[in-house]
Amino acid sequence: MSKGSVFGGKAHGLRLERMSASPRFLEGVFKNTAPVGPGLKAGTAFSTLGEFLLGGKNKNRTPPAPLPFESPLATWARPVDTGLRATWLGHSTVLLELDGMRVLTDPVWGERISPWAFAGPKRFHPVPVSLAQLPPLDAVIVSHDHYDHLDHPTILELARTSVPFYTSLGVGAHLEAWGVPPERITELDWWESATLPRGELRITAAPSQHFSGRGLGDRNRTLWSSFVIESPRRKVFFSGDTGLTPEYGDIRQRLGPFDLVMLEVGAYHPAWGDIHLGPENALKALELLGGGAFLPVHWGTFDLALHAWDDPAETLVRLGEAQRVRLVMPKLGVPVEPSRVEGVDPWWRLVGARQSERSPVAVDPAG
C-alpha cells in the first residue's frame, strides 16, 4: 500500500504490539464487548435490497436544494461566556470550544465519502467554512476509520498544521501514512486518557458498538471509540458511530455527567443490526448517559441510508418534545452555547418539499 493511498496505512511494529495488548483485540481483529454483526440481520437481505432498489416508502433521500448554512467566523472571534460553545459543520464534524480550548471532531471537508473522487455519497451542502478559515486548533479527534469520519483530503491538509490528533488504536497508521508526524498522534484504547500539552484539556476514549475498515481485507483491524472531552469547567461526550449498548451506563458512572452530549442519529435501518443508533435509540443512549443538552450529529450531509434525508431530525424533534429533552439543533455553521439554547427552530424545513405539511415546533428545554 503506497504512502498517501486513500486506503491508509497498516499497523506494524510497536503500534501493532500495543493493539495486540488490548483486551478488545482478539484473533487479529478488534471486537465489540457484545457479539454484534456489522451486516444485515438474518432474513432481511432480500427485503432491504428491494427497498434500496425500488425506493421503498422514502424516496426523499436527498434534499431538493443545498441545505442553508451561516458563517461562524464573526461569532468565533468573540469569547465564550459560558465556557462551552459548539458549531456543527455537517455530519459528525463539530468545532468545540471548552474554556478557551478548541477541539474538532471527525473532520470531513471532502466532497465525497468514498475511495473514489468520481463516485460515492456526495455532500448535500458546502462546509460552512474552509479548512484555512478554522481558528487555531488544540486537538483533532478521529473516532474511527470509516470514510465519513476519516477523510483523506482533509487529513492531508491538517497534516500541514501543528495540531495534535487523538484517535482509536490503530487509526494512527492511516494518519502517519498521510503525513501526520507520529509525535502528533495519540492512540487510545477504551478508558484510556490523554492530557493536552498545556494540561488544560483531557481526552478519554470510551466504548462504542460499531466496526471499522477502509478496504478489502482490513475489517476491524483498527478500533472504534466514543470520546469524552473535559476542560476545567465543562465536559462533552461524542459518540462517533455506535449502536445502543449498556456500556453507556458505565460511561455515565465513570466519566459523567455531561454538559453536552453529541450522538449520531442518521444513517440507520432496522435491518442493520446494532451498529447505528437512529433517533429512538439515541434518546435511550442519552438517558443511559445521564441526560444533558443533546446535539444530534451524523445526519443532514450525506445519503447513507434508506430513510428520507430529514427523517432523523423530524423523528428526534417529535420524540424529544414528548420526552422533554434539551435538544440543541442549530443551523449549519451557527455557533451555540448549549446552556442558552431554548427550543428548536426546524430550519431544515425551509428546504424540504413537505414544509407546508408541518407546523412550527418549539421544544421545551426543561426536563
Report whether 168 contacts 223 (CB < 8 A): yes
In a domain, 1, yes or no: no
Report whether 228 contacts 203 (CB < 8 A): yes
Report whether 336 contacts 80 (CB < 8 A): no
Look at residue 35 in the predicted model and tell me its pLDDT. Answer: 86
> Mean per-residue pLDDT for 330-336?
98
Look at residue 359 in the predicted model and tell me its pLDDT. Answer: 38
Look at residue 157 in the predicted model and tell me its pLDDT. Answer: 97
In a domain, 367, yes or no: no
Look at residue 50 in the predicted model and tell me its pLDDT. Answer: 41
Look at residue 37 in the predicted model and tell me its pLDDT. Answer: 65
> Mean per-residue pLDDT for 116-137?
94
Look at residue 12 in the predicted model and tell me its pLDDT. Answer: 95
Res. 118 pLDDT band, cuts 50 70 90: confident
In a domain, 38, yes or no: no
Share of the chain above pLDDT 70, in %: 88
Res. 352 pLDDT band, cuts 50 70 90: low
Residue 42 has pLDDT above 70, yes or no: no
Report whether 257 contacts 292 (CB < 8 A): yes
CATH of the domain at 217: 3.60.15.10
Query: Which DSSP helix (H) or strand (E) runs through 284?
Result: helix 278-288
Res. 200 pLDDT band, cuts 50 70 90: confident
In a domain, 7, yes or no: no
In a domain, 75, yes or no: yes
Look at residue 197 in the predicted model and tell me its pLDDT. Answer: 81
Question: Where do runs of H (alpha helix) occur along 145-246?
Answer: 152-158, 172-177
| Residue that has been written with the C-alpha cell 434508506 in this structure | 306
Full-model pTM: 0.90
In a domain, 300, yes or no: yes
> Mean per-residue pLDDT for 213-234?
95
- φ, ψ at 122 (rounded to 5°): -110, 145
In a domain, 142, yes or no: yes
Q: Checking DSSP bridges between strand 84-90 and strand 93-98, what pairing results, if any?
A: antiparallel
Taking only the tens place, the pLDDT of each residue in 48-76 is: 334 434 444 456 899 999 999 999 999 99
Sequence-ordered list of residues with C-beta below 8 angstroms from that of 191, at least 6 positions apart, any chain:
204, 205, 206, 254
Domain count, the chain: 1
Measured distance CA(279)–CA(319) in Å, rounded: 8
Residue 354 has pLDDT above 80, yes or no: no
**Per-residue cell: 313:** 431530525
Look at residue 199 in the predicted model and tell me its pLDDT. Answer: 74
In a domain, 276, yes or no: yes
Look at residue 363 in the predicted model and tell me its pLDDT. Answer: 37
Q: Which of 89-93, 196-200, 341-345 has the lowest mean pLDDT?
A: 196-200
Amino acid at 303: D
DSSP 20: H
Which of these, 203, 269, 260, 185, lies nearest to 14 by C-alpha position?
Answer: 185
Taking only the tens place, the pLDDT of each residue in 275-331 is: 999 999 999 999 999 999 999 999 999 999 889 999 999 999 999 989 999 999 999
**Per-residue cell: 16:** 501493532
Taking only the tens place, the pLDDT of each residue in 236-289 is: 999 999 999 999 999 999 999 999 999 999 988 877 768 999 999 999 999 999
Domain that holds residue 281: 13-33+44-357
